[in-house]
Structure formats: C-alpha cells, structure tokens
Chain A
Amino acid sequence: MRFRAKIVDLACLNHFSRVINTIAKLAKSCTLRLTVSKLYFILSDRVANGGVSMWCELCQGNFFDEYQMEGVAVDHNEIYLELVPENLSRALKTAQSAKAVKIKLTNKHSPCLRVAVELPSLSSSSRIVTHDIPVKVIPRRLWNDFREPSVPDFDVSIYLPALKTMKSIVERMKNISNCIVIEANLSGEMNLKIETDVVSVTTHFKDLGNPPWASEDGCQSSAQDRDLQSMAEARIDIKKLQQLLVGQQVNPTKALCNIVSKRIVHFVLLHEDVSLQYFIPALA
C-alpha cells in the first residue's frame, strides 16, 4: 500500500486547500478514499453525524503534478483512510506560497499522512515544514460502508439561489430557530421558513429553475407527474445547513438540491473539478 502525490502549481494548491477547508467545515472526521484517478472524501450517515452524509469527489489529475497510488491489493487498487480533515487544512494553510507540497502515506510509529511543504527562503536551501497527520487505515471488509450514495427518489429538484444570499439569510434565521423548513416546487420557487411561538419568518425565492433530470428507467417518475405548484418540503437542522453554506468558499458552477418530502434534502454542488453531495435528513 503506497501513496505519494505532489502539487507544484500554486493555483492547484490553492484550489486543493479550499476544497479541504470546505470538507473540514463539514466533518470532524471523515474517510479519504484514494483510487488511481480520484480522491473521495466520504462521511457516511451514522447516528454520530446526526444522519448527515457527504460525498466529495475530486479528479486527482486536476490538482496533482505527480500521483502514485498502490492499493491494498491488485484487484482492490484503492486505499481507505480515516482522518481529521482539519489537520490537513491546517497543514496546507501556511503552505500557500510553497514551491512544492508532497503528500505521502507513511507508517513510522503509526500510519500518517506526511505533508511536506517546501517553502522559499532567503537562505541557500529551501525551508521544509513537515506535518504528520495521523490516519487510520480502514480494512477492506469495511469498505462497503463507504459506497457512493444513490440519488434519492426526489419529489422536487431545484437550483439553489446564490449561496452567499442563502448563507446570510440562514445565519440570521439560526438566531431565531433551531430548525428550518426548505420547500420548493417544480416552478422554480423555493421558500426558507422558520417558525417559533412568537414569530415566523419566510424568505421566498423565485425563478430559480429546475434542473432537467433525464429519466432513467422511469425512476424520476414521481417528479415528472407532479403538480408544478405543489411544494415538497423538509424540516432540517438549521446548523447543518449553515455548516454547508459556510464551508463554500467559491461559488459552484452548479448548485442544486433534491427534496424528498419530509425525508431528506440532497444538496449537489458542482465545481469544474470537484463535486460535493451533502445529505441532510429531515427532522422527525
């Protein structure tokens, strides 16, 4: 089992750091899955996470100048690691002017991801900072826990409003209530609602547009037959929504959410080379 990768381009490093920062805001601890072509940050929907799950996928070629991965076995050419993304985020934070960043899986006293940052310095040799991030290798028998979640059989799929706007609204709503209702219909309308004993606040969004999902085997039929005005809604923990919005440092190319009425909200945020899916279950 071997993993070594190197980033030399500053823009790639910056971009990679931003992705890691986003992940760090969403999960205290998560699974990093390494394959030959991709990296995945996975959070599976355990009770400990409050039922939230996350699936983030990156193409390694878009970030790394060098990338070598040898999995646990020839026919299972992948590595699954459990780590604290905040550590990785911190290691990269002060590397923004680096000449090169190398990441390597090592096992001296215990398995670690060693991040070695080569920084420019006034002296003849570069300054090298190494960060040893402890990781746990996840054995193959547990890999099934980390399969890609399927797109749920949603009632409504709708593009999200500008995330910045959504973020500032949700932040203020958070002061009033612990849960928020997201409702949307197939006419491009979305409402964010909170309600307490003394006050209720609703923000209305219009003309958001609904993404066209190709119907595969008619599995989206519940959406297709739906009354265009009818709202699908789910009541979710407002803090989880806020965490998702706060973590977004760059505007995604596409941002949408799929609502399964009263069950789950599935957020999909797509950038050029990174895709992030985030599932927030509805509260009872």
Chain B
Amino acid sequence: MKCVIEGGNVKALGHAVHALSRVGDHLYLEPSDAGLSLRAASASRSAFASFFFAPLFFQRYEPGPPGTRCKVLMKSFLGVFRSLPTLDKSVERCLVLLRPCAGQLVLQLHCKHGVTRTHQLAFQECERLQAIFDTQRCASRLRAPAQVLAEAVVHFPQTLAEVTLGAAAGGRIGLRSHLEEGSEPGKAMVTELWLAPDEFQEVAVVPGSCITFCLKEFRGLLSFAEASSLPLTIHYDDPGRPAIFTLDDSLMEAHLVLATLLDPESDSQPPPATNGSISHPPAPSDDFADDLESYMVALGSSACEGEAGEPPSPTFSLHTPRPEKSDPEEEEEEYGAVPGTPPHKKFRSLFFGSVLTPRGPGPAPSQEVLAEDSDAEC
C-alpha cells in the first residue's frame, strides 16, 4: 500500500492518530480499494475506534494487493505525529508505504526547508480488527457540534474515569460524573451539567434514558472532532449496550464504540419501580436564571420524573462502517464474548461477537452479541 497525504490533511491524520492512541496500544492499518482504515481497540475490548479515509483524502492512493494489513505499536506510530503544531506548521506532505512482504512500513514526512524525516516502523501482520455494531439498533441519538460537547466535557476533571449521559423529560441532556463503585459517597467531587435541546442539531432520545461510558476515549474523539469542526453523533441504547460515536464528512468517517456500564447509575435511593425507566435526576426548570434554588432542591429528590421509555424510533439515517471488501477465504479475527474487562467494572465486554458465517441479517440467537452487525453487503 502506498499513499501520499498533503497539506492540511496531514494534520487531520495526526489528530486521528492521537484519538486512536487514547483507545488502544496497537494501531491497525487496513487498506482496501475503498480507502484506508486505521483502527484500535482497548486491551479489555471495551473500546474500539476506527478512522476511515476515502481515496480522495489522499493526494495519491494505491491500496496494493488485498490482505495488505498490519498492526503497529501505537507508541511508534504516534511518535511520528506527536507534535500536532509541528505537523501543522512544517509538514507539507506525508508518505505512507506498507509492503509486508518486503518487511517495510515507512512513514516519510516532507517538511519545509527541504527537510525529510523518514521513519521505519516495526510491525506485525495481523488479522482484521472489526467490531460489530449497528447504529440502527440504538434507541437514542444525539448530534451536536463538537464545540458544544467539548465545552461541556471541559468541566469534568481530567482524572475522572467515567461520565453518565442522560436524557431528562424536558429534552434536556445531562452529563454527570460517575462515581466508582466502592468509593465513599462523601469523598469525591461530583460535577453535573445540563444542555438545552436547542444546543444540539438533533435530539432523538428516549426520555429518562442514560448511559455511563469512559471519558478518556471520548475525549480523544472529541479533540479530533473539534479540530475538524465536524458535528459528532452519539448513538446509544440501553445501559450495557455499546454507545457509538460517529462523525463524517465526504472524505472520512470516524467511529468510536464504547462499552457502557451494565448497571443503571444508582443513587442512594433505589430506583422507583417504573417500567424500565432509570432513576434519574429530574430536569431543572426552564427558567435557569432565577430558579437555581428550586433546581437544586429538585436535584436532591431522586424521584424520577421521566416518563416510561417510549418505543425507540425505528428509522435512523444509517451510518455504518463502509463495508470492507472481504475475501471470503480469509479468517475473520474471532473474539468470543471475552470477559476481559477489569473485574471491578461491570462493563459488558463486548461487541466483538464471533463471526463464523458471512454476514447475514443477524447473528445466531444463541450467541451473546451485544450489537448486531449491520453490514449486509460483502
């Protein structure tokens, strides 16, 4: 595979690599005729990220023979793109050359003043890394400019591991620090913020729904989104089912799939026995400026004001990973539902269901697949 990236797209590639570096320790390079995919997955398989670049993203793109792919240590690959300001200011062109049979993975940066930096990276051949997920099966969807989400997330401490996203009855979307299980309630600071529905470009959520996911990987994608000024779409379903974050434009697509906590976020009072709704702080009143008092009082009572979940909206604009041209003779990398997550967390791991047959309409009922695979064409 040989490709050349020019100008501002080098920085975009750099941002993508930075976002991927938050997810996993290895970067998977998977070129195909349709474009180049960069992927990463966390060791516990609770997070998966994929950046797909169409051929038009490149000044020159030659995918090479099918099956050309490799995985590299994230640290090595990231090292080439470490300094984003430098990429922006001095790098004019980037060449990526992958010839597994010749043992070559070369990254060459052509910089200003005639300087060329050539990096030869060690790599391993590998199988495809593919997560199975289907945004169509997600009951809730939100889309917002990256800046809105970035401005929201900035209020949470950098050390915070997980955050809970919730939809209140009035359409407001809230974010709240998630306290680790076992941590004393009176010790850690809890941050909460609410966004009005009109800050989003699209809100199609189940009222009262909420999910808890890792902030670190999300922040990584958010930085990419901010740099590219693209809106970010969040697809989510019930707690325990993966949350899918996507953004795209004509030249590229990014997906981040994160496992969500299985247990609903529990307040000190048990959730009320409504049909399936999660115990959730009620939405603050609309008149923010003056009503902070009652808002704070209302926050104190954890009675759920959300209505019972409505049936999920069935029609969503589908955003699935572009189907790779898969060779039917290849063995897909198989991951069973590996309980690889750290034992103290209740993340369900994962959505790497084993794929034994060419993608059909759905997995065998006996398999524990958390999100059905969506690719119909092979």
Contact = CB atoms under 8 A, between A and B. Distances in A.
Interface in A88-109: 90-91, 94, 102, 104, 106, 108-109
Contacts of B299: 108, 130
Contacts of B295: 128
Among A90, A111, A123, A129, max chain B CB count under 10 A is at: A129
A104 B293 CA distance: 10
Contacts of B286: 125
B192 interface: yes
A123 B198 contact: yes
Interface in A144-181: none
A274 to B, nearest CB: 24
A122 B152 CA distance: 13
A126 B288 contact: yes
Interface residues of B, number: 31
B342 interface: no
Nearest to B268: A109
Interface string B194-235: 111011000000000000000000000000000000000000
B188 A134 contact: yes
A243 to B, nearest CB: 21
Contacts of B287: 125
A121 B154 contact: no
A123 B187 CA distance: 34
A109 B189 contact: no
B288 A125 contact: yes
A87 B155 CA distance: 12
Contacts of B157: 90
B153 to A, nearest CB: 10
B189 A123 contact: no
B376 interface: no
B194 A127 contact: yes
Contacts of B273: none
Interface string B288-317: 110010011001100000000000000000
A124 interface: yes
A125 B195 CA distance: 9
A66 to B, nearest CB: 12
A123 B289 CA distance: 13
A130 B193 contact: yes
Interface string B324-364: 00000000000000000000000000000000000000000
A192 interface: no
Given A108-B300, A121-B196, A124-B196, A132 B288 contact: no
Contacts of B284: 128
A114 interface: yes
Among B187, B284, B288, B289, max chain A CB count under 10 A is at: B288
Nearest to B284: A128
A114 B185 CA distance: 15
B186 interface: yes
Interface string A220-243: 000000000000000000000000
B191 interface: yes
A126 B289 contact: yes
A109 B196 CA distance: 27
Among A87, A110, A117, A127, max chain B CB count under 10 A is at: A127
B268 A94 contact: no
Interface in A206-263: none
A90 B193 contact: no
B186 A134 contact: yes
Contacts of A106: 296, 300
Contacts of B378: none
A127 B150 CA distance: 13
B155 A94 contact: yes
A118 interface: yes
B190 interface: yes
B185 A127 contact: no
Contacts of B148: 122
Nearest to B192: A130
A94 B155 CA distance: 6
Contact of A128 (B151, B187, B193, B300): B193
A53 to B, nearest CB: 25
B296 to A, nearest CB: 6
B296 A104 contact: yes
B190 A129 contact: no
Given A104-B296, A109-B186, A134-B187, A122 B194 contact: no
Contacts of B296: 104, 106, 114, 116, 130
A117 B152 CA distance: 12
Given A94-B155, A118-B288, A129 B192 contact: yes
Given A94-B155, A123-B198, A131 B288 contact: no
Given A127-B199, A128-B292, A131-B192, 14 more contacts: A90-B189, A110-B186, A121-B196, A121-B199, A122-B199, A123-B196, A125-B288, A128-B193, A128-B284, A130-B191, A130-B296, A131-B155, A134-B186, A134-B189
26 contacts: A90-B157, A90-B189, A91-B191, A94-B155, A109-B185, A110-B185, A110-B186, A118-B289, A118-B292, A121-B199, A122-B199, A124-B196, A125-B287, A125-B288, A127-B152, A127-B194, A127-B195, A128-B193, A129-B191, A129-B192, A129-B193, A130-B191, A130-B193, A131-B190, A133-B189, A134-B189
Interface of A: 84, 87, 90-91, 94, 102, 104, 106, 108-111, 114, 116-118, 121-134
Interface of B: 148, 151-152, 154-155, 157, 185-196, 198-199, 268, 284, 286-289, 292, 295-296, 299-300
Chain A to chain B: the 9 pairs with minimum beta-carbon distance, closest first:
A110-B186, A129-B193, A123-B198, A123-B196, A132-B190, A108-B300, A87-B189, A123-B199, A129-B155
